[in-house]
A and B are shown apart, each in its own frame.
Chain A
Amino acid sequence: MTSLVEEPTVRRARSTGLLELQQLVVEYGSGKRRARAVDGVDLAVHEGEVLGLAGESGCGKTTIANAVMQILRPPGRITSGSILFEGENILGRSEKELRQYRWRNVSMVLQSAMNALNPVMRVGDQFVDAMRAHEKIDKRRALARTGELLELVGIDRRRVRSYPHQLSGGMRQRVVIAMALALEPELIILDEPTTALDVVVQREILQQVEALKRDFGFAVLFITHDLSLLLEFADRIAIMYAGEIVESAPAERLAASPQHPYTQGLLKSFPPLSGPLTPLTGIPGSPPDLRDPPGGCRFHPRCPHCLPEQADLYKRQTTERPKLRVIAAGHEVACHLVAEAVE
């Protein structure tokens, strides 16, 4: 393998998505306690793009990440649907094939990744271990490449000899990002990568990810509860609520004309840092229990536009599940209030 610093691989554009989820269903538990954490999700990540996936805790966004990495643990399981990577279904692949797929095709940076490092091993040795699990490479070359990777994320290469506790939280998170880059995957999943860090470090890290993405051309699935972060860093954003995608659109479009009442509520939950201050309301109520989700539209108990006075609409809202419909190029919404774009 050539050095990844000198020759970033240029990849050809594809018409289909790099990663495609089709009607994915993931369940936990069984019988009465069964919960559908992900309920019929269609989602595509295209080459070289940053797709943001936003939603509140328990909406299923981390479950999607785990399903894509094929690291769901029982009682979690995929009960239907498919996950296509470069057009091929990865469900049903053998453990050996999956080991190649993980890290080489798709890698993941976890929420508390900074604690994912082994505290009693030098940083360099952990890289060497990870690389040698995937390819034949001698230790000296692996260490040299580790140095290059660390420099890519802005860490002095001499730090290969450091133990994790000698690094700050932000540095450890950067180390984990460097590790995710080690095998030049086509897709990196960032699951709340900066939630435990403060804003200044968060910005530094995200700017670094952007720069690396420009050089290497990988795609990013960026999962977070912080919609304001996605509006700045993502190309496209999908909003998840109670196991379903309720809206997806290019970032600027979502910010300018959000259609789903939940998206509108989320956007109104962030007070502005400049300009006039008006009282905000947030969203009344709290997310539903997925073991017993409300019928019809899952958001209807919290929706300001779901009123018994409008009997016809109310009946549909409370009994009929809205489907995702295209309302403009690249903009999909699942809401009874929104009419389909006229073809």
Chain B
Amino acid sequence: MTAAAPLEVRSLTKRFPLGNAVRRSHVHAVDDVSFELRPGTITALVGESGSGKSTVARLLAHLYEPTAGTVLFEGNDVSHVRRRRDVLRYRSQVQMIFQDPFGSLNPVKTVRHHVERPLRLHHIVPSGQVEERVHELLRTVGLVPPEDVAAKYPHELSGGQRQRVAIARVLAVEPKVVLADEPISMLDVSIRIGILNLMTRLKEERGIAFLYVTHDLASARYVADDILVMYAGQIVEQGPIEDVLSAPLHPYTRLLLDAVPDPEAQTAAQRIEPNRGDASAAVDPAEGCRFRLRCPLAIDICSQTTPQLVEARPQQAARCHVTAPAN
């Protein structure tokens, strides 16, 4: 795919203040993060809780304002748009799916209301065609027959069906970018694959650029084309997902992979024992690698200089002095 990236992020940084005026510190929730989302691709953003992955999604959704860095939407800097009209226009192109399909729908409104509202708000179709479009959208996400589903209330639907309604609502505005923040982690195991398959279909049929935020590497591998691995606010490894997962450069990616339960892997002997480490590495970080306290490969330089993302293999970059040293 050679088309221009609809969404590009450059040196995105978000700090949250901690403490009081006398003892002020900052959590570097997102620190110097750069990547782009391309049409028709799914980019997975993985990391443990507190790594800053949800903050990235929220920054892109314009729910937070970045401390520094820029978000470019089709080449225009949108990181500081404030006017309601501009924000609305941006949000009609960049939509978000949330983790909790139980909390993101209004319990006293029907499915029709949820899908119809964005159509009217953003004047997507003339009012005469709204009904028809609602049914079309429900069919797209696999909620059939749409006439029956449209009349239902959220409590009459299962978790998977609710998440499909949330996706139909997102599709209503014909977005170019969809930010999916842990969209399957609250769903039953047997229906998760259905949602992932739906994402794959939408990426192929509609050329949507997806950001798939998750802590589940296996599901990331199943749907995504590229992967970004975050640790303590920084991207520590990025590249095509098959390359990264089959031959990870960063020791943190290795650790994540080894932690996934895999009954077929007989590699117990090679497992990296996780060292005791502090996950608070993002609070007023000193110079040096933020992973060094947990890292089995750490050497002297790791506590002295912060490693940069270095492309050690074609398209695959890591932030590690040992496995991806700067030239």
Interface residues of A (CB under 8 A from B): 56-57, 168-169, 197-204, 225-229, 231-233, 251, 255, 265-266, 269-274, 277, 279-284, 286-287
Contacts and interface: CB of A to CB of B under 8 A. Distances in A.
A289 to B, nearest CB: 10
Interface stretch (B205-213, B260-268, B299-307): B260-268
Contacts of A286: 158-161, 188, 190-191
Interface residues of B, number: 36
A199 B48 contact: yes
Given A57-B188, A271-B219, A282-B197, 17 more contacts: A199-B259, A225-B188, A228-B263, A229-B261, A265-B190, A269-B189, A269-B192, A271-B193, A271-B218, A273-B221, A273-B245, A273-B260, A273-B265, A280-B193, A280-B197, A282-B194, A283-B191
Contacts of A228: 261-263
A280 B259 CA distance: 23
A225 to B, nearest CB: 6
A232 B263 contact: yes
Contacts of B158: 286-287
B120 to A, nearest CB: 30
Given A225-B188, A286-B158, A286-B160, A199 B193 contact: no
A266 B261 CA distance: 15
B235 interface: no
A274 B265 contact: yes
B218 A199 contact: no
Given A198-B49, A255-B263, A273 B190 contact: no
Tell me if A's interface is mostly helix, strand, loop or mixed.
Answer: loop
Nearest to A278: B222
A229 B216 CA distance: 13
Interface centre among B189, B256, B265 (most CB of A within 10 A): B189
Contacts of B218: 270-273
Contacts of B221: 271-273, 277
B257 interface: yes
Nearest to A279: B197
B189 A281 contact: no
A200 B261 contact: no
Given A198-B215, A232-B263, A273-B260, A283 B190 contact: yes
B274 A204 contact: yes
Interface in B26-58: 48-49
Interface centre among A269, A272, A282 (most CB of B within 10 A): A282
B246 interface: yes
B188 A56 contact: yes
A197 B260 CA distance: 12
Contacts of A287: 158, 188, 190
Interface centre among A255, A266, A274 (most CB of B within 10 A): A274
B189 A227 contact: yes
Given A199-B260, A200-B274, A228-B261, A282 B222 contact: no
A155 to B, nearest CB: 10
B259 A202 contact: yes
